Amino acid sequence: SCVHPDRPEPLDLHLGMFLPTLLNQATPEQMERFFTPAWNLRIIGTYAQTEMGHGTHLRGLETTATFDPSTQEFVLHSPTISSIKWWPGGLGKTSNHAIVLAQLHTQGRCHGLHAFIVPIRDMDTHVPLPGVVVGDIGPKFGFSEVDNGFLKLEHVRIPLDNMLMKFAKVEPDGTYVKPPSAKLTYGMVFIRSMIVGQSALALAKSCTIAIRYSAVRHQSELRPGEPEPQILNYQTQQHKLFPVLAAAYAFTFVGQYMKDTYRRISGDIHAGDYSQLPELHALSAGLKAFTTWAANAAIEVCRMSCGGHGYSRSSALPDIYVEFTPTCTYEGENTVMMLQTASRYLVKSYRQASVGQRLQGSVSYLSEAAAQRLRPRPVSGGAAPLSTQDLLSLVHLYQRRAASLVELAAKSIQQELQRGRSQEEAWNHSSIDLVRASDAHCHFVVVKLFVDKLEQVDDAAVKAVLSTLALLYALKGLADNSGDFLQAGLLTVPQATRVSARIKELLEELRPDAVALVDAFDLNDRKLNSVLGRYDGNVYEHLYEWARQSPLNATEVHESFHKYLKPLRSRL
Ligand SMILES: CCCCC/C=C\C/C=C\C/C=C\CC/C=C/C(=O)SCCNC(=O)CCNC(=O)[C@H](O)C(C)(C)COP(=O)(O)OP(=O)(O)OC[C@H]1O[C@@H](n2cnc3c(N)ncnc32)[C@H](O)[C@@H]1OP(=O)(O)O
Ligand SMILES: Cc1cc2nc3c(=O)[nH]c(=O)nc-3n(C[C@H](O)[C@H](O)[C@H](O)COP(=O)(O)OP(=O)(O)OC[C@H]3O[C@@H](n4cnc5c(N)ncnc54)[C@H](O)[C@@H]3O)c2cc1C
């Protein structure tokens, strides 16, 4: 199709959120009524949660859904300018339905945010329905293919059965029936879990383009009198790109793990077991933030490593960046997600471990750390010996760094409370530490999953090169965050020096396999859509061909000469 497989599209929300939300929150009758026509694109929907005045603070959303028992309807209304739904993808011009998140009012009481299916355009004429004011929010940083829209509802009536009632319900007399767990109506866990894999894909594409281009680009002089070398032979170029390559592999494994974990736990939830929902929320929120922040920065490293041609849209890197960067904001703004993981999971787990509770899942190390704190500390107190070759010891180092930063954040809250601050103020005055703790926890999870994955690799040669990548990923993270490790007494200055030396050795070791490692992502030219990243490496001819196709070159003398330059000359 003319649509590029990876470009944002107006139907992304329909496929990525409207359908999954029906699957997760619709009753069987609602599935029949809505899912089937939505699957056949008769109904095209979006997910309208964010408002002009609120995106993060869900409890602050103002759109109301008031039940009218006399007509068995909900009245959907946007009471203020700030309550206008703002940003939903595909809302402006594409969708004819929206899942609207609104504060449910029935029998004079507010029961918080619930999901309602609201028809917004006539199914045949596509004209907005009565009481519906809808349109596009205007040009954005990118996503120009998507009509992110606004939606103002003026006392729009929908049937009682348009409230998604798999969990919470409203009876015909207006009685509200609580969901088995209030957390089930939050949603977003699915898409956050999927975004981790999107981070991996964005990294794989970017480093494929940059490393292939670095293998065909010759520039400057390494040894006097010799031909210009491939820029991939410069240590600085390797230091830019090989850690990105390692992260692309790491995030690919984490993305797979996140998808499998989502599938497993959502299966349990559908079976009525909600016990793992906190772990799934914390993991998806944290890893979504961790991987998108890392990938966002790495795409720019790849673009800049391609010099001027990286800035050309023929490289595809500007488009990859523009389309990826909003992942740090949507589906949960990253800072807020990191705070969720820390405040709602890590600190809570730390406190449970501190009273001897045995923890499971990704925080089980906090129990080990709590037990460690009760044992007498070794006199030396110094950092343990550091192996720059042993992956398991590096995993343990990341685990101890995470435990140390979670403890630091928990203690900061305690100190703030002892200074007489309120709970909320104590948490806010510790939020930098909380974000650091989440970051360290996620970093440990990524390193651990990478090393765990190696145990599943049978081919010795593949295992060897993946182990080198895992070492580079772990040591580069250690070097980049050496302050944390030094502060926690997990690293000494001589050891930090050894780490830097080892990183240089690993860059040299990876050089011969770098192109093969990006080829292994198997991203064909159509998917990459990049002149610099072409599989055949025939960059210059295709760059010239690409430029020749530029609309500006349709005529030898552009109309601007006659319209502006010539008249300007005559006036000078
Ligand atoms: C074919 C498939 C294709 C997939 C391909 C992937 C991508 C392409 C497709 C689509 C993407 C394209 C474009 C993107 C479109 C973007 C859409 C959006 O951005 S939708 C809007 C996103 N908005 C948010 O995420 C809002 C963020 N804010 C919040 O989540 C809440 O405000 C916050 C921060 C959680 C605070 O809420 P609050 O009510 O104050 O909660 P508390 O912090 O007090 O916590 C209460 C308890 O609830 C637990 N909790 C919170 N959230 C969740 C959750 N999501 N799930 C489960 N549990 C949750 C929390 O841990 C607390 O529990 P305890 O009481 O501590 O036990
Ligand atoms: C391209 C794109 C597509 C989108 N698509 C959709 C969609 O389809 N449907 C939909 O409903 N929404 C959509 N959104 C909206 C998106 O979900 C929100 O922008 C996002 O949730 C962030 O909320 P906000 O914009 O209100 O930012 P804010 O929350 O106002 O964030 C601004 C700053 O405040 C900080 N902040 C906020 N709260 C806290 C806190 N508690 N503690 C510390 N710092 C805090 C943040 O860290 C950030 O630095 C989309 C957004 C974009 C950019």
In this prediction, residue 2 carries a pLDDT of: 40
Least confident of 27-36, 200-209, 381-390: 381-390
CB-ligand 1 contact for 465 (6 Å cutoff)? no
CB-ligand 1 contact for 136 (6 Å cutoff)? no
Name the catalytic one among 62, 73, 323, 331.
331
Q: pLDDT (tens digit, 9 = 90+) per residue, 430-439?
A: 999 999 999 9
Least confident of 41-55, 135-149, 154-168, 176-190: 176-190
- 147 Cβ contact list (under 8 Å, min separation 6): 10, 89, 90, 91, 92, 93, 94, 136
Residue from 8, 26, 348, 332 nearest 193 by CA: 332
Q: pLDDT (tens digit, 9 = 90+) per residue, 300-349?
A: 999 999 999 999 999 999 999 999 999 999 999 999 999 999 999 999 99
Q: Whose CA is nearest to atom 58 of ligand 1?
A: 183
Q: Helices 460-480 and 493-510, interaxial angle, to 10°?
A: 140
Question: CB-based burial of residue 35 (10 Å sphere; 0-12 exposed, 13-18 middle, 19+ buried)?
Answer: middle
Q: pLDDT (tens digit, 9 = 90+) per residue, 523-550?
A: 999 999 999 999 999 999 999 999 999 9
CATH 2.40.110.10 placement within the chain: 11-173
368 catalytic per annotation: no
Q: State which amino acid sits at residue 54.
A: H
CATH 1.20.140.10 placement within the chain: 189-357+392-406+432-517
In this prediction, residue 3 carries a pLDDT of: 45
Q: Whose CA is nearest to atom 8 of ligand 2?
A: 88
For residues 266-275, give the mean pLDDT: 90
Q: Whose CA is nearest to atom 49 of ligand 2?
A: 335
Q: How far apart are alpha carbons 334 and 291 in whole angstroms? A: 10
β-bridge pairing 97-106 and 45-48: parallel
Give me the interface pTM, i.e. the ipTM.
Answer: 0.97
Which residue of 101, 143, 329 sits with most ligand 2 atoms within 8 Å of its CB, as the best mutation to test the pocket?
329
175 labeled part of a ligand binding site: no
Q: Could you tell me which CATH number the domain at 189-357+392-406+432-517 has? A: 1.20.140.10
Q: Whose CA is nearest to atom 59 of ligand 1?
A: 183
Which residue of 13, 54, 101, 186 sits with most ligand 1 atoms within 8 Å of its CB, as the best mutation to test the pocket?
186
CB-ligand 1 contact for 16 (6 Å cutoff)? yes
225 labeled part of a ligand binding site: no
Ligand minimally distant from the alpha carbon of residue 99: 2
**Among positive and negative, which fits the CA dihedral 394, 399, 404, 405?**
positive
CB-ligand 1 contact for 239 (6 Å cutoff)? no
Q: pLDDT (tens digit, 9 = 90+) per residue, 91-116?
A: 999 999 999 999 999 999 999 999 99
Q: How far apart are alpha carbons 451 and 350 in whole angstroms? A: 25
- Ligand 2 binding site (Cβ under 6 Å of any ligand atom): 13, 47-50, 54-56, 87-89, 143, 148, 326, 329-330, 333, 335-336, 339
β-bridge pairing 156-159 and 73-77: antiparallel
Q: Choose which CATH entry (3.50.50.60, 2.40.110.10, 3.40.50.2000, 2.30.42.10) describes domain 11-173.
A: 2.40.110.10
Report phi then psi at 115, rounded to 5.
-105, 135
Q: What is the pTM of this model?
A: 0.96
3-state secondary structure of 251: helix
